[in-house]
Structure 1
Amino acid sequence: MQDLNNIIVELSELNVYTGFGYKLNIPYNYVVYFEKEQNKELSLYIRKNYEALKTKFASIDLNFIYQPLVMCSSKNLEEVIAYYFPQLNYYQIPNLASKEYSEKVIKQAVRVAADGIDEILNKDNFIPSKIDSDELLNLLDYKGNIKSGLLFFNMRHGAIGVSDFFNTNSNHNYELFFEEALFYLTPEKEDFALGDFSLDLSFLPNYSEQLDDDTKELVKDIENKLAELKDNGQILFLIPILKDLLNKQSEKIDFKSISKMEINSQNKIQLQYFKKEVELSHLTKAIYFLFLKHPEGINLKELGNYRKELLTIYTSVSNQLDFDKMAKSIDDVINIETKAIYTHLSRIKSAFYKIMDASFAKYYIVSGSGEDERIVLFNTKDIIWNNYDLFTPDML
């Protein structure tokens, strides 16, 4: 094994769980430079060799983050927060976070520009500004003794600093420091990465209906935007802003909470707490209302038993005047051999996935697979029906 003379390793119980769920936890593959006390030489070495260092860390699947050079942008930030944390819409936090983040981006750009000018004008005696790491260290709850170095999260959590041996060596070759740090952080073959990818997805129902193409594209786009926030290190600026905004709220936000549902007199489906409207076509909406009215679940093979009720709902919801045509549409839906019901269940699923992450959408869609019993997991007691009486067969 290689002798590690130039680094000192300090294992710590870093707080990588942000409280916002796994979507915004500190990524397992981050290696972040920090300073409790300014280390001019090390910081300057990183600035001059930043791209080469990022490439070396990437070769062992790690993402090296040097905060002063993180390229920040507030574009799409509000959209990402609102999608993965719909309950924050009630407090207007996505919008507030985007505004505060924009201000931070401007300040970051000014600092980088100022340092860039100083470096050009003073090539030989340029001194990089001290890196303000207090926000990061408080976020991670770091209580170690290393004054400057690297925070890591891949195998275990901890920090890597400059050793006494390195400090007594007049050469101060930081290439050796990073060489040993990379060697230490290189996982053994039997090791496996923990963090974002150690997810238990067993809570997700097994669906036979697929998302429509538009929804797949939208979800993929949102996922890519979140990945970009993580890949370029912007998440380290965003999380403290979100925490600060939530601390200012008088009410505690439960990130596992879901919204009550209101169906108004125009048959619009509103998720009050999320401040979202779920848009469905008239026939698909009628089918969704049928499942909401039967929290015990419905076996698709027995849909024929609900023909009269479904037709009653559809005539109340639809603006069509051709009763025979509406009846024909209902007959197609309840005939399992036409597979029309699966198309509508897919549309219901897609409608919710367009406005929120799967971890919340799963409560509202019609869960199940094949021809077996289908059920909406949402507690129907939390539905405010303004037109429930119109959906009873006796009205037909």
Structure 2
Amino acid sequence: MNVHLLRSPELKIETYRNVLHLLQQFQGPMHFMACEEDFSEFNNEAEEITWLRKKDFETSTVMENESSKSSSTNYSLSLPKISFPYIERKKTWEQLFAECDNYRKSKALPDEDIVVLLTDIGNELNWFGGVAPSMKNYFIQTSNWEHFFGNSIDIRFPIAYEIIIWVMRYYMFPDREETLKGVHKKSIGCIMDFCKDKSQIILKMRTADVCESCMNKFIERDIPTLYSRQFFDILDGIRNSMTFRGRATLLQQPSRVEIRGHTKKIFFTDLGGLELALNPKEKAIYFLFLNFEEGIRISHLSDYRNDLEQLYRQFSNLSERELIDRAIDVLINPLENDINVVLSRINRKIKNAVGDSLYDFYCIRGERGEKKSIKLNRELIMYT
């Protein structure tokens, strides 16, 4: 089964790649595929909705053929980033599924393949995600997660979580009508919780569980074991990564780091394999400080010119030695501010990736005029 993850133009490419990489770590019959980007076919038309109240923003609209009461229990522990009134762009479900169909046609995808649209744009029913009548097209809203989980959330986790549970519903139910009938109107911490009160998504994700009645669906539908195993591996992986990150501050426990291949891509092992994406210049500087654990004074950077040049040549696409030399000259020139700009960019990317709780372990820091270094214990770094 191929699951094509389609990126909407407004979704950051870094977020998209991190979600894709997270899901691709778990081996099994479900293959999560990157979609070739061609935004020319996307429909940019979207209405604006103004949310006057927080309560309305956090309420999913029930479909017309669904009549039931939802639990009013509020599990929200959020630190709202959104202030109200809040203006949000939204599309109809038909518009969102049309994007999936357009991609199917343009790439001549097999009928059995699944397409999941990842988009920051809201939808008419204010759901986290939805399924088309065909059960082959889906959308996942990728924005506003900080509102429910607080600013420290790694948004890869709720996005990946929504993707996998919607895909598994394809196997659990014969059609969309049965899928919508099968949801739990009262949240119990199961993947099939409806979450009319959207703040209940916190309970749902923290348990990442499947209740007994839903587990029976796996048996009744005779879902192949390999699919079920991959599904639970992904759920457990997401939950464990979220738990690790949440406890990092208390336990003062940094994630292990895996450095892969000749280009030395950097991944945080215990954070769901999150990649730290650095450009060649940033990577050359970062590895220079990794290699010299005792630290380096910025005023002495010229003493490390040969090391920098070797690293930069390894990571850069620049083939001419003169261009590399010129870039290194600017970097180590005490009259230039280039090194401080690069250090600032590196540290900002680290903070965005691992959050405040783990930032101190990986950043390059030191008092002005003193040696700057990376605190991380090098025994936590593995080269593959």
User: Is the shorter-chain TM-score for this pair beyond 0.5, marking a shared fold?
Assistant: no
Higher relative contact order (CA 8 A, sep 6+): 1
Tell me the TM-score normalized by structure 1.
Answer: 0.41
Instruction: Give the greater-gyration-radius structure (CA).
Output: 1
